[in-house]
Amino acid sequence: MAIPDFIRAVRATAGHQLLFLPGVSAVVFDDEGRVLLGRRADNGRWTLITGIPDPGEQPALAAVREVYEETAVECVVERVVLVEALPEPVTYPNGDQCQYMDTTFRCRAVGGEARVNDDESLDVGWFPLDALPPLRDSDLFRIKQALADEPTWFATTA
């Protein structure tokens, strides 16, 4: 996965120790109600489009940027779906450890054709909700919340 320059600078002194970072996730729907997914290059899993905001970047703009950078799909943010500290740290193949405070957004595609647009994905595509590839429970929950007509979900327990 591409490491942002500001994190590379921190890692130069912090090594692989656990960093607590902001993250964004995008649940992007097209006009047919399909959801946009990417198959990650680092672990081969299908997932929602995710990323890390740059310093000073607004989270919603980071989600839009990440979707375009990874999939070539242009989207607009419709609303915040959930905000939560992810329960488990992630250890990347290089040994770096991170834990994320994730803000998930419901987004609507407005242009572009889904394709692999960087080296972070092996594949990208649109999936009908009744024909999703295997996904983590957390991605399925985000999709469910993005479809629900409910206020933003916040974790209320550890």
- pLDDT 10s digits, 16-39: 999 999 999 999 999 999 999 999
pLDDT in tens, 110-148: 999 999 999 989 999 999 999 999 999 999 999 999 999
Q: How confident is the model at residue 1 (pLDDT cuts 50, 70, 90)?
A: low
Distance separating alpha carbons of residues 22 and 102, to the nearest angstrom: 6
Q: What is the token pair recorded at 67?
A: 């979707």
Q: How far apart are the first and last CA of the chain?
A: 29
Q: What is the pLDDT of residue 157?
A: 67
Q: Where are the beta strands (DSSP E) in 30-158?
A: 35-40, 46-47, 49-51, 74-85, 90-91, 97-111, 121-127, 153-154
For the chain, the average pLDDT equals: 93
Distance separating alpha carbons of residues 111 and 100, to the nearest angstrom: 29
- Structure-derived torsion over alpha carbons of residues 141, 146, 148, 153, reported in degrees to the nearest 10: 70
Report the candidate in 90, 82, 91 with the shortest Cα–Cα distance to residue 140.
82
Report the candidate in 61, 43, 39 with the shortest Cα–Cα distance to residue 52.
61
pLDDT in tens, 49-100: 999 999 999 999 999 999 999 999 999 999 999 999 988 898 988 899 999 9
Q: What is the pLDDT of residue 152?
A: 81
Residue type, 106: R
Q: How confident is the model at residue 158 (pLDDT cuts 50, 70, 90)?
A: low
Say if residue 40 is exposed, middle or buried (CB neighbours under 10 Å; 0-12, 13-18, 19+).
Answer: middle
